[in-house]
Structure 1
């Protein structure tokens, strides 16, 4: 995560942002490995993790925190860039690790077809595009659904970049997207609902507002935006609980812990925006932050499969710890030997291609303004000051 410069601060690397990201990733891992019974061949894991499961049941909220971080980071990284630069940055950042994650998950599923089987290899090929979510093609790993929501956000923010990323344009974008998110659920306009993303837009928008606080200064307007998004997000908490836990369990569980986790995420990002966590300068967090994305990409399907395969050979807590450590190790290998070198090559190739487009596109010089014929002025006689 690159440092940023504000009018009142020297460049500071946001190590705290890496800490938020890895925390969000690990709670999602905890949810998939501990709260869900899929890995254990059970309908529930109460007797396996009596102390840990009550917390793990709310681990899916790590995704919401990811979306806040994404809003912050995308606004930060897009400042001063063209659409081509932004596309180059995002594609070279997302796809190398994603491709490696698909390859890794495919190998695991092909080797251990215990829970899921690869029925259509063509579906895997479509997954390499990251567009399967819009085509009705199953995700190779269900965690990929969040990436498609991210792509929608990138497409929308590219419009801001096209007109220029400024304080004013970002606030206008926030306002328009907020209105779209409010209107979309009550209309049958599918395209509006598709891009408005009403369930998740409050988190992206709050992240953008937090970055504006960071870059400029906190203001009543920005705090009002953040507060509004926090309140709008509350409407979808119960629905998200049903989606992730099932209707029966969601009815039995209270919603206040979920709301508390969301509030904690907002407060953490507010602290980063205000510079309260700038003193956190632990360099190891940069490495931890770098493997967050590969970890998220590979942990779910492959990790659940491995837990299912070894569930009768190791104690539950030891197995979860071992598989988590293995996923972290594989994530580091992907980052070190795939993501870093391939990202550089992909970024260089894309820059070259975009430069070719720019050079091949004729620059349209606006015609000079038409010269209007001088209008003949009537001579106004000067007053005779000698007369009274």
Structure 2
């Protein structure tokens, strides 16, 4: 059961995953509807950006609350890896990759999209950005700059400034990237202060280097902006909880939004598609995910529909499963069965499989290795104070 204070975030996750499903499913069914809506909204982009905002809002706050990098990375591994690995196993069996070695190494880092490794399924590109965000958050945490408002501004300005440039493509660097990642994480998780700082800086250098110099062409222009959007979610969380002023937070939001829109319009100009309709589509896409997040936040104290929150709880499973079903059931989706029946069957299949994967893969994975409080010891504090936390005034 989702706690009431978290239900609004699950509701937003549900909206995000439904937008993504709409974008992918309407390539096969209700294509006439897609032809109309696609002229005015990038549903898939709006959906993943909403996911990124939610992650940015909650992830750094969780790390700061626990104050323990080991616990943070273990919780992320338990949360993401079991289903991630299960999906990889299914797809590798169904469609064996050409280069098993680099595919395995690249996907083991959860950074394949940024390491030049072909993805076993296209939706994994977002997980690479999630991982990049975790690495940068870890860097800031190790140097005690986790509450700075500068990261989203710097990333947004840098992203907008470098967007017109042709990125330097390092190509497939799975093994070197994995080695650097392992070394950085080893330092961060060592428990020794100097090693933590060195490891954090190494992870930050790796992440920024990949975002700048090995970005996939699909996001050569807005890769840095995606991470800036995630950090914007963190800034909003801090403003919500009184750790910064809303005046400063509004400046950050405005800078990131302006940079994102500038980059999108610049891409249209490069494609000779800077028309009023496509400019409007870019603006509406930005307003859709930003407006959805703002509405969810403003209504967070109200009751979130149970069905919507439940979809949000299953959203990770739904996100990873829905495209696998499309890949494996492509011939069926291209059949002459009426669109409403195909869509209903598809959604029932995705929701059913997602419930099973959540129940039997995600939940057991989250419990794996998690320490349970000793009932014989009273007054245990489940969230010990961070050794990085600033002392509170008396």
TM-score with structure 1 setting the length = 0.70
The separation in 2 between residues aligned to 1:321 and 1:242, in whole angstroms, is 39
Are the structure 2 counterparts of residues 24 and 250 from structure 1 closer, same or farther at C-alpha, using a change threshold of 3 Å?
Answer: farther
* 2:43 maps to which of 34, 37, 59: 59
Report 1:37-186 matches (<5 A): 49-55=31-37, 58-61=42-45, 62-80=47-65, 81-106=67-92, 109-110=94-95, 118-122=97-101, 125-126=104-105, 127-164=107-144, 169-185=147-163
What 5-or-longer segments of structure 2 have no aligned partner?
A: 170-205, 213-222, 373-394
The correspondence for 1:322, drawn from 345, 368, 373, is: 345
- 1:14 corresponds to 2:6: yes
Could you say what the CA RMSD is over the residues aligned between the two structures, in angstroms?
Answer: 3.4
Report the CA distance shift for 1:31/1:238 in structure 2 as closer, same or farther (over 3 A): farther
Rg (Cα) greater in structure: 1
Q: Which runs of 5+ in 1 are unaligned?
A: 4-11, 111-116, 350-388
The answer (yes or no) to whether the contact 2:19–2:43 under 8 Å persists in 1 is: yes
> Which of 253, 256, 265 pairs up with 2:280?
256
CA offset digits 1:69-119 (Å, max 9, x no partner): 121121222223222222122221111121122234345x35xxxxxx644
- Normalising by structure 2, we get a TM-score of 0.69
Are the counterparts in 1 of residues 151 and 228 from structure 2 also a CA contact under 8 Å?
A: no
Q: Could you tell me how far apart the structure 1 residues matched to 2:268 and 2:157 are?
A: 25
Cα distance per residue 1:43-94 (max 9 Å; x no partner): xx8xx53234422562222112211112112122222322222212222111
Q: Which has the higher contact order (CA 8 A, sep 6+)?
A: 2
Whether 2:260 is the aligned partner of 1:233: answer: yes
Question: Hey, what's the Cα distance between the residues in 2 that align with 1:238 and 1:210?
Answer: 25
